[in-house]
Amino acid sequence: MAEPKLLSTQQIAEHNTAKDLWIVVDGQVWDMTEFAPEHPGGIGIILQYAGQDASRPYNEVHAPSLLNKTLTSSKLVGTLDTSTISDDWAKPPPQENPKVQLKNEKPPLFTLLSTHDFEAVAEKTLAPKTWAFYSSAATDLVTHKANQTLFDRIWFRPRVLRNIKTRDTRARIMGQEVELPIMCSPAAMAKLVHPDGEKAIARGCQNKGIIQCVSTNASFPIDDIAGALSPTQGDPPPIFFQLYVSKTRSNSEALLHQVWDLGIRTVFLTVDSPLAGKREADERVRMDDDQQGIPMMTGAGKPMNDKRGGGLGRLTGSFIDEALDWSDLPWLRRHWKGRVVLKGVMCAEDASRAAAEGLEGIVLSNHGGRNLDTSPPAILILLDLQLNAPHVFERLEVYVDGGIRRGTDILKAICLGATAVSLGRPFLYSLNYGPEGVEYLIDMLKDELSVAMALVGITSLDQAHPGLVNTNDLDYLVPTTEGHPYARKRRRPLRAKI
């Protein structure tokens, strides 16, 4: 095999337009001309580094192996001749602001006592754009807030004089035993929080005996994340995979086959996000005012906001197929032989349809309040199922995702029929401390759950039942019919032209 061609900085710098675009990553020179327009985050960030060294922004959000796996070998045009590097070459592009160095702002991990503490630290120490991306929710944040506050309106009905000396928080999720009934929700680009991103989450979750659901938009390829785990003894890895179906179906098909080959046997199909909601906090933080090497930028020249703002959440989903519907489930079954869970069910009618379609599970979720504001809070959807579609609990597993912040929240959901719950933002905020933070969060939630079980009067989760909670403060919010109880669609008569 021939040695890669040595290229000088002057030669590389000549390829600096959208029609002839080279970049350098870790000493390798890549021709990005064809790929750049298809980049999920837009051509802007690639064009910003056209004819230059893009190693730093690339490595802040991508796995080192991603270019070799994404592009063909023909796109590797050579290697950088380091003897030609000058001071001018080494300078960052003029549009890029220097990164703010945060020193001694994170308190010691052992001083954090709750998920709220992790959130408070994240708000102060994450890059502003990263914080805006993860913390933001749709428009007036009504659903985002209600996801949490409705849990506070459910009261326990504890039983006393029970022997609660020994308690067991273990559960089973899709046939896999876990140390407590929680999962790490899929979230995009965790490398924005920590260099090891989803790999650090994977290690933390495995060490504490819970399952991570990996996003299609993860910072690392799924095989890199799976490779960060310790080998399992004949069992499936403690990973599920979340799928956004691509407009180019062949891309999703290839991804599903790759996931299967890794031994992963459960896919979560996200159905509540055919497009992103209006997340104003994310839109307001201008990307060109807060450069952190984030690749999800748009624009033809420099990383400018478009006329709608600078929403990273909006820009990451441009590849998602908005035409996906129930009739596509047979397509998914042809290319995935494992279990399928619908993520984003928000009413009893769709839960019943999922059961009738033979799906193995559903996630009751409004996407963390990030898409349709005033969509129902997750715990309210669980009550909707109990009243209007109780049969689904016998036919598939039901998970609650949204607003879980305490061990008491976990127990309330389990009492009301959930198989398990899923948390997103708390895991991202705990990742601020690396895998140790993830493990610390899980231990914290396990302790809170165990204490709540003891004080309610149960010693294992199979003893949880609806009689242990009082939902009277929410019951009037639960729909009682499929349609509106009294309002009817009225056809307005056409007025004659005068």
In this prediction, residue 43 carries a pLDDT of 75
| Tens-place pLDDT, residues 119-153 | 999 999 998 888 999 999 999 999 999 999 999 99
58 catalytic residue (yes or no): no
244 catalytic residue (yes or no): yes
What's the whole-model pTM score? 0.81
User: Residue 34: exposed, middle, or buried by beta-carbon count in 10 A (0-12, 13-18, 19+)?
Assistant: exposed
Q: Which residues are 144's β-sheet partners? A: none
- Between 43-57, 131-145, 293-307, 415-429, the lowest mean confidence (pLDDT) is in 293-307
Which one from 39, 62, 194, 367 is the annotated catalytic residue? Answer: 367
CB atoms within 10 A of CB 233: 4
pLDDT above 90 (res 92): no
| Tens-place pLDDT, residues 367-397 | 999 999 999 999 999 999 999 999 999 999 9
pLDDT above 90 (res 290): no
- pLDDT band for position 288 (50/70/90)? very low
CA dihedral 402, 305, 193, 195 (to 10 degrees): 140
In this prediction, residue 498 carries a pLDDT of 62
In this prediction, residue 374 carries a pLDDT of 97
Dmax (CA) of the chain: 83
Rounded alpha-carbon distances, angstroms, from residue 14 to 42, 76, 99, 444: 22, 16, 28, 55
272 catalytic residue (yes or no): yes
| Tens-place pLDDT, residues 34-60 | 888 877 556 777 888 888 888 888 887
What single string gives the DSSP state of each residue in 3-45? PPPEE-HHHHHT-EETTEEEEEETTEEEE-TTTGGG-TT-SHH
pLDDT above 90 (res 167): yes
Phi, psi dihedral angles at 469 (to 5 degrees): -130, 155
Gyration radius of the chain over CA positions? 24
Average of per-residue pLDDT values in the chain? 89
Q: Nearest to residue 422, comparing CAs of 185, 247, 242, 264?
A: 185
pLDDT above 90: percentage of residues in the chain? 65
